[in-house]
């Protein structure tokens, strides 16, 4: 089988070496512009349109991340770019869930125990004790209960805070209050103190973190966006921070990445910025998962993680 690989800036030797170890009979190559030779599988992250075009042989495209918005955007802009019979397969966990649980836990503890405010007090050389937040009303709402969101919701229960989750279809997670479907969105939001976003970027979710959403949260709520930048209306967050409706935000993803130098988030005293690192693609775990799925497809067996183009995730 022929496999093409594309990821700008990746450690190519490590990726191809690992893939060859798992798939000894595969003919692996790095895709470069102008390469139109046949390929059965593509393993890519943020690949240009040209890689996908005119490849009727392609059986599956493996996305080196959980979010497939970049690939679907290529198809949305120029329908028919992706080979019609190729499956689009995203990474499922591969060590990302644990990283997301760590990131979310850090944020919730930071806000629950007011460490962000103590940092500011230290900078002002002020020795001042702040009253603790009441744990029982420090409700955390997790938007998206998929592979990552479900683990985050479960992990946060260990902090003893009430945890809610929101998804398109109903779920059962012990200890987590579930809200499913658009008609339950407002009920989900009502009174949430920390909103953690783990929804995929689709036409339905774009801009969902907006003034209306913020207005339904508990006063002085906190926002954590670890999904994708376009789900947030930046100006609405800045206004909500000004009014106090949002007390502080931690943002890992942005409309434009890297975040432009002149963006107000960089210097806002109540915004924490990280450079899209809340859950990174781990090479070994990803190689093993992708190789396992390629072997299953070659045997004609079903695999999980296939993207539904209509749903957009
Ligand atoms: P996933 O397994 O596909 O889960 C998506 C969840 O969102 C599902 O629970 C789904 O509901 C729900 N959902 C989708 N559209 C919805 C809508 N319109 N209304 C309500 N719920 C909706 O995805 P995942 O693996 O957990 O990853 C989630 C996202 O995290 C990715 O798409 C990616 O953008 C982001 N991510 C970011 C980083 C980072 O480093 N910052 C790393 C990895 C992933 P159903 O369960 O009912 O289908
Ligand atoms: C990273 O952002 C991913 O989608 O895996």
Q: Is the CB of 65 under 6 A from ligand 2?
A: yes
Q: Is the CB of 66 under 6 A from ligand 2?
A: yes
Is residue 283 annotated as a catalytic residue, yes or no?
no
What pLDDT digit, counting tens, does each position of 228-264 carry? 999 999 999 999 999 999 999 999 999 999 999 999 9
Bridge partner list, 223: 195, 249
Chain mean position to CA 137:
27
pLDDT band, very low/low/confident/very high, at 184 (cuts 50, 70, 90): very high
Buried b (16+ CB within 10 A) or exposed e, 101-126: bebbeebbebbbebebbeeeeeeeee
Which comes out higher in pLDDT, residue 194 or 78? Answer: 194
Domains of the chain and any CATH numbers? 2-94+281-298 (3.40.50.720), 96-273 (3.40.50.720)
Is residue 263 annotated as a catalytic residue, yes or no?
no
Count of CA atoms in the C-beta half-sphere (13 A) of 193 = 17
Q: What angle do CA 188, 194, 197 make, to 5 degrees?
A: 70
Q: Which two tokens stand for residue 186?
A: 């407002």
Concatenate the DSSP letters of all residues of the chain into one string: -EEEEEETT--HHHHHHHHHHH-TT-EEEE--TT--S--SEEEEES--HHHHTT-TT--EEEESSS--HHHHHHHHHSTT-S-TT-EEE----TTHHHHHHHHHHHHHHHHHTTHHHHHHHHHTT-----PPPPGGG--EEEE--SHHHHHHHHHHGGGT--EEEEESS----TTEEEEESGGGHHHHHTT-SEEEE-----TTTTT-BSHHHHHHSPTTEEEEE-S-GGGB-HHHHHHHHHHTSEEEEEES--SSSSPPTT-GGGT-TTEEE--S-SSPPPHHHHHHHHHHHHHHHHTT---S-B--TTTT-
pLDDT surpasses 90 at 272: yes
Chain mean position to CA 247:
23
The predicted pLDDT at position 172 comes to: 98
- Ligand 2 atom with the smallest distance to the CA of 96 is 5
Q: Is the CB of 95 under 6 A from ligand 2?
A: no
pLDDT band, very low/low/confident/very high, at 277 (cuts 50, 70, 90): very high
What pLDDT digit, counting tens, does each position of 64-81 carry? 999 999 999 999 999 989
Percent of the chain at pLDDT exceeding 90: 97
Say how many Å lie between the CA of residue 45 and the centre of ligand 2: 9
The predicted pLDDT at position 237 comes to: 99
The predicted pLDDT at position 183 comes to: 98
Percent of the chain at pLDDT exceeding 70: 100
The average confidence (pLDDT) of the chain is 97
- Ligand 2 atom with the smallest distance to the CA of 91 is 5
Q: Give me the catalytic one of 212, 276, 299, 311.
A: 276
Say how many Å lie between the CA of residue 265 and the centre of ligand 2: 21
Distance, in Å, from the CA atom of 160 to the CA atom of 29, rounded to the nearest integer, reads: 49
Say how many Å lie between the CA of residue 129 and the centre of ligand 2: 39
The predicted pLDDT at position 65 comes to: 98
Mutate to test the pocket of ligand 2, among 46, 63, 64, 65 (most ligand atoms within 8 A of CB): 65
What pLDDT digit, counting tens, does each position of 134-175 carry? 999 999 999 999 999 999 999 999 999 999 999 999 999 999
- Ligand 2 atom with the smallest distance to the CA of 68 is 4
Q: Roughly how many angstroms between the first and final C-alpha of the chain, as a whole number?
A: 27
The predicted pLDDT at position 34 comes to: 96
- Ligand 2 atom with the smallest distance to the CA of 64 is 5
The bound ligand whose nearest atom lies closest to the alpha carbon of 204 is 1
pLDDT band, very low/low/confident/very high, at 54 (cuts 50, 70, 90): confident
The predicted pLDDT at position 84 comes to: 83
């Amino acid at each position: 089988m022929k496999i093409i690989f594309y990821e700008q800036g990746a450690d190519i030797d490590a990726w191809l070496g690992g893939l060859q170890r798992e798939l000894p009979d595969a003919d692996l190559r790095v895709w470069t512009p102008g390469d139109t030779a046949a390929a059965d599988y593509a393993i890519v992250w943020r690949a240009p349109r040209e890689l996908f075009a005119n490849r009727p042989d392609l059986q599956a495209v493996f996305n080196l991340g959980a979010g497939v918005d970049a690939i679907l955007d290529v198809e949305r802009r120029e329908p028919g770019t992706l080979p019609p019979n190729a499956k689009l397969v995203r990474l499922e966990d591969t060590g990302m869930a644990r990283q997301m649980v760590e990131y979310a836990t850090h944020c919730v503890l930071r806000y629950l125990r007011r460490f962000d405010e103590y940092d500011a007090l230290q900078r002002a050389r002020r020795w001042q004790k702040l009253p603790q937040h009441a744990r029982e009303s420090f409700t955390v709402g997790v938007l998206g209960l998929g592979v990552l969101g479900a683990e985050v919701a479960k992990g946060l229960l260990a902090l003893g805070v009430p945890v809610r989750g929101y998804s398109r279809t109903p779920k059962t997670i012990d200890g987590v209050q579930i809200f499913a479907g658009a008609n339950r969105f407002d009920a989900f939001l009502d009174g949430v103190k920390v909103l953690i976003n783990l929804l995929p970027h689709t036409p339905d979710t774009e801009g969902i973190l907006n003034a209306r959403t913020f207005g339904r949260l508990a006063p002085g709520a906190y926002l954590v966006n670890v999904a994708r930048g376009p789900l947030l209306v930046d100006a609405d967050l800045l206004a909500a921070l000004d009014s106090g409706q949002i007390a502080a935000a931690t943002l890992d993803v942005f409309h434009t990445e890297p975040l432009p130098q002149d963006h107000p988030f960089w210097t806002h005293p109540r915004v924490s910025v990280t450079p899209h690192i809340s859950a990174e693609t781990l090479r070994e775990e990803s190689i093993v998962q992708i190789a396992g799925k390629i072997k299953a497809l070659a045997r004609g067996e079903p695999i999980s993680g296939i993207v539904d183009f209509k749903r957009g995730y």
